[in-house]
Each structure stands twice: as structure tokens, then as C-alpha cells.
Structure 1
Amino acid sequence: MRPDVSVIVPAFDSAQTLGACLAAVRAQREPVAEVIVVDDCSTDGTREIARAFGATVVEQPENRGPAAARNAGIRASRGDVLFFLDADCAPEPDALAVALRILRDEPDVACVHGIYSLRPLFDDGPVEAYRLLHGHYWRLKHAGRVRTTLFAVCAIRRSVFDEVGGFDERLRASEDVEVGDRMPARLGIVLSPAMVCRHDDDSRLLALLRKQFRRSQLLLPVARHERGPAGIRANSLATVGLAGLTALALPLAAFWAWAPLLAFLGFVVADPGLLRFVVRHRGPAFAVYFFAVHLLVVWSVLAGALVGALRPSPLLEPA
């Protein structure tokens, strides 16, 4: 028997992308029982677009972030399988079918999540191209059995939340990773490269750097609370270390001009698979741009992680 599937889409000021997201839900080859859009106090036409597509709209009384929105969607839903989508993601027509097939064929698997397409939902320029290349690469690199949950495009058995509880509403980032950390090892998690969605990613560099700085402040607190081996990481330790070394080498340019350049070249080759991937898909010229932007992004992550390590963590506050 096919399980009933509830689609849950948390949304905040998502009028630009929500229509494409819901149109992609409508185009799924597997039927869904209901579509729930949880509006997190939007100020644009998000609610009207959701209703135009026939979705059930759950309105949050105040803006509380994706964790609270997803919990509200869980409470409002009835499906045996919950298909979570971010409002800026449009799954390919077979995405849900891929997830349901894995859940059917591998009974120990409780959660299946997917990867971003290299093709954007809307083409907004080179910064977005950088984001999609990197996001596709690191997800593809970790494809298979994992211990990290990512909910941008994710199908999960309702019974998981009955057992481990909902999302931690104290968190406005990394809330999906934190849920996976509470899942016992007997509940399998699969990152499937066949479960693909197009994503409308960041397209403005300064906004991207600010977001990375803000979100990375929870990296160390979440990592300290992980049980067992480390989960999925978007960047290798070598990449992060050489980014830090490049920053430290900048003042040395006054004495030895080659120091920052050599450090940057080390940063570029720290993950040779990523270098080959970018050159293969976009060519050498774009690779230069890619790694320049990537260095700024990793610097933002390092700065945010340092600030987060010095601040009290919401994970240490009473629930």
C-alpha cells in the first residue's frame, strides 16, 4: 500500500518562488494527500499564492523561524510520510517517487533527502552559479547512507517525530541537522543523488556572506552536541585550514609578496575533487572566480564560528 504523503512547506516572504515550488509539487508522479504551507508572518503575497494552488495555509501568530514553522506543519498534517520542501525549492517530477521507493525497499530507512540541481530555479547570475556548484558537489560527495538530516527536500516517516520529538524552536539555523542527531542509529538516513530539486539560491555576494556568518555561529555548538562520528560537512578540514592560513598570510605580503598567493593556491587544491568538478562544468576562467568567492565564504564561516564559540549557545538554554 502507498503511504499517505503530506507536503509541508515553511514559507516567509516567499512570493517570488512559492508558485514554482507548488507547481513542482503538483507535477510529482506520486500522489500526495495534502499540501500544507506554513506562513511565518509574510508581508508579501505568500498566503494568496499558496491558496491559489489549493494548499492548506497555516498562519503563524509571529515570525519564529523554520523550526517552529515545520513543527506547526507536522501538527496540521495527517500523512504517514512527511515530504518537507523549502519554499525556494522545486523538486523534479520523480523526486518523491525516489524517496518512497527507498523507504519501501529499505525498511530500516526512516529519512531520505536529496541534492540541489546544477540548474537554478531562476538564473540570477554568477554568485548563484557558485552556490549551486558547491552545494551540488558536497551533497553528491556524501551520497549514500549518512547520519545527517537536511530538510530542503526531504521525505521522512512521521513515526520519527513521534519518537524523537519535533524541531528545536530555539534554533533559527541548523535545526534540521539537530533533529538528525537525535535520531537513533537504527533509523537509517539516506542522501539520494536521484532525489533532485532546483533551488533559487543566494545571488548577492554581501547578503551571502552575512548569511554564512550568521548561520555558522551555531556550527560549533551543534558539533559539540553530536553523538557518534561527525555528520556531513560542506567543506573539508583541509579547505577550512588553508582558508585560515591564507588570511594569516595576508599581512606577510609586505615582506614576501608570494605568501598570500601560495596560501591561496593551497586553498584551491585542498579539495582536488572540487577543483576538477568546477573546471569540468564551468571551465578554468569560472574556476578562478569560484575559488575567490569560495575563499570569502569560508572566511565568513570561520568568523561566524569564532563568534559562536564565544557566545552562549541556545542549545545550552532550558528547552
Structure 2
Amino acid sequence: MSRPLVSVVIPNYNYRDSIGLCVDAALRQTYEPLEVIVVDDHSTDDSLEIARRRDVTVLQTPRNSGVAVARNTGAAAARGEVLFFVDSDVALRPDAVEKAVEELLAHPEYGAVCGIYEDQPLIRDSVVEECRVLQAYCWRMESLGTVSFLFSSLTAIPRSVFQRVGPFNPRLRQTEEVEYGERMSEHYQIRVTPHVLGRHDDDHRLLPLLRKLFRRARLRVPLFARRRRFAKGFETASRSLAAVAALGAVVTLPLVLAGPVWLLVPVALAGLSVAGDPSMYRYVLKRRGPRFLVVFTAVAFATNVAISTGIAAGALQWLVSARFRRLYDTPWSPERERTPGADDALSEQRPGTTA
């Protein structure tokens, strides 16, 4: 029985530090047959040139349009029966594609097989990045099994499923994977597996990380309001309570001005924030020790504050803005939307050719 051709699709925008590691890891896969397609979303750094030095297909979008358009462009140009999407800041383990295909072939009811990031960063830049990578690893490990959203940065989708569900919504520059998962989970199971692994080059500075988490949390509110339930995955009730408690600790901190006894309120809320995710802190303690745990707890607390503040801002915006409420309801038909493909690319490089 012949094995299906897999097309590894790598969207890229200004990831010069990791794009080479990402492409090289894709080329070193144990699985065959396989093709690698890099879609540059009009980068302003030299990551496009780095990709062109590899023996892969390189496309470029006509203009900077977001990761959804870049993925759709790669999917339109791909020849494979399986589409394996991996972001340009992720380096796959050598057997990642093979493991994903094995699961898809064994379970035709799966619409997607999503992998997880390892607990060590791809490029070790700062302690903040180490903390964030550990946090993401623990959250994904607790999401193993069926989920209702897509980890689109590390996922394999049969082409037949992608054609039925349709392309990523090109109008969403962020949270496109959440919306796509909602569409896919209406027809198929989305599975998260610990067997498909990659290392992620996460944010290494705290403020940009917090801004990103705030923005993503805010933009998810219209989707939360529409479905009125927690998603299957790491959006658990206890983790949501931990985020709210962290924000509560910050908000109630001025009560200390009324007397030292009031310090108990923010301290209790901070403790409740930690108690909402005990397995994560136990894992970090075992993995890195008590001194690192102190730093990790501070970073995790800050991310919880950013997430809950983003949700609060999104809730307020949802109340006052009809346009924001319709963010995911905007009429859009995958059938009518023209997906940019190889014919639309400003530049294209096939193996053995130059753009």
C-alpha cells in the first residue's frame, strides 16, 4: 500500500532566527514521500532569502495578509493528500510527520491530528521564554484527546477534510485557528497527541508576550459569547478561575492602604490563582526545582492577569460594539472566497530552480 504524499506548509513572517531551523527540521523527516512549501507573508527581514537557500518550494503572498492567507496559499499550491501545517518558529522532531500520518490512517474519523510543543524552547533567549514554554507544554499535555479548537501551528489535516471544512478565514489575522476549529469540530474529531512533537521559539520578552495574550483573549470573547461554553482543551473552568483570581489580586491590592489586614485579600486571591493549576506547578517544581518555580510563578501570574484583563476588555467591547459582536459572524463563504495560490504568488521557487 502506497503512503500518501504529505505537504508540509510553513507560513512565515519575519522569523529570520528560526525559519532555517524550521525548514531544516521539515527536510529531515523520517517520512516519505514529502514536499515542503514555505509561504512568506511579505517579510521585511531576510527570512525569505534564508528559506530560498533550502531545497524547498518558496512562495510569497502579494502583500502582508496574515497567517490565514499564507496557510491557504500553501494549501492551494500543495500536491499532498495530507497537509501538515507548521509555523516558522517551530522545529519538528524527525518522526513528527510519520506519527501524525499513522494516527490519521488509523482513525479516519479524525479531521486533524495536532501535536504539542516540547518543554524546552527551540532557541533559549531568556528565562521568560523558558517559563512560557513550560506553561504551554503543561497546558497542552492536559489537553490530550479531543479538543474543539485547532493547534494550527503544528497540525496534520487530510486534504479531503480541508476541502470540506474550507480554508482558513482570510479576514482573521488572529484567532483564525479558534474559528477554524469550531468549524471543523462540527464534522470531525480534532485530536491532540503527545507523539507529534516540536520545539517552539516563543516570546522571550515579557511585555510583548503579555500584549499578545491580552489581544488574543480579547478577540476570543465574541466566540465565547456565541458558544456559551468552555472549549474542549486547556480552557478549563479551574484555569479560567485562576486567571480571574490573578486579576482580582491586582485590583484589590490598593486595599492595603486601608490597613495591613486587607493584604489578606490580594494574597488569598493570588493563592487561588496558583491553586487553579496545581499540576502545572508540580511539574515545574519537579523539572526545574524550587528557585526556578518562584520565577515561573511570577511569569504565570502575569500571563493570567493579561489573559483575564483581555477577556474583561473584550467583554466591555462586546457590550458597546455591534461590529465586535459580529466579528465571527461576518458573512463569509469558503466556497466564494478566492484562495491565493501559486498563480498569485509574486515569487515562486521549486526545488532546483531560482525565483
TM-score of the aligned structures, taking structure 1 as reference length:
0.94
Cα deviation per residue 1:256-280 (whole Å; 9 max; x = unaligned)?
2333222212211222111211111
Which residue of the partner structure matches residue 63 of structure 1? 64
Larger Cα-atom Rg: 2
Deviation of residue 286 (structure 1)?
Answer: 1.6
Which residue of the partner structure matches residue 253 of structure 2? 250
1:290 counterpart = 2:296: yes
CA distance in 1, matches of 2:49, 2:25: 17
Matched residue type, 2:134: L
Which residue of the partner structure matches residue 82 of structure 2? 81
Which residue of the partner structure matches residue 219 of structure 1? 220
Alignment of 1:191-210 (within 5 A): 191-210=192-211
Cα deviation per residue 1:19-58 (whole Å; 9 max; x = unaligned)?
0001111111102432111111111222212121122111
CA distance in 1, matches of 2:208, 2:235: 19
Which residue of the partner structure matches residue 166 of structure 1? 167
Cα deviation per residue 1:72-94 (whole Å; 9 max; x = unaligned)?
11111111100100000001011
Change (3 A) 1:125 1:41: same
Q: 1:317 aligns with which of 330, 341, 345?
A: 330
SS class of match (2:63)? coil
CA distance in 2, matches of 1:287, 1:86: 29
Residues 5 and 81 of structure 1 are in contact (CA less than 8 Å); yes or no, is this contact kept in structure 2? Answer: yes
Alignment of 1:96-111 (within 5 A): 96-111=97-112
CA distance in 2, matches of 1:192, 1:115: 7
Which moves more between the two structures, 119-128 or 297-306?
Answer: 297-306
Deviation of residue 186 (structure 1)?
Answer: 4.5
1:261 counterpart = 2:267: yes
CA distance in 1, matches of 2:75, 2:183: 17
CA distance in 2, matches of 1:208, 1:51: 29
Q: Which runs of 5+ in 2 are unaligned?
A: 333-355
Matched residue type, 2:290: P
Residues 84 and 156 of structure 2 are in contact (CA less than 8 Å); yes or no, is this contact kept in structure 1? Answer: yes
CA distance in 2, matches of 1:211, 1:229: 21
1:26 counterpart = 2:27: yes
Matched residue type, 1:24: A
Count of aligned pairs: 319
Residues 238 and 271 of structure 1 are in contact (CA less than 8 Å); yes or no, is this contact kept in structure 2? Answer: no
Residues 243 and 267 of structure 1 are in contact (CA less than 8 Å); yes or no, is this contact kept in structure 2? Answer: yes
Q: Which runs of 5+ in 1 are unaligned?
A: none
Which residue of the partner structure matches residue 145 of structure 1? 146
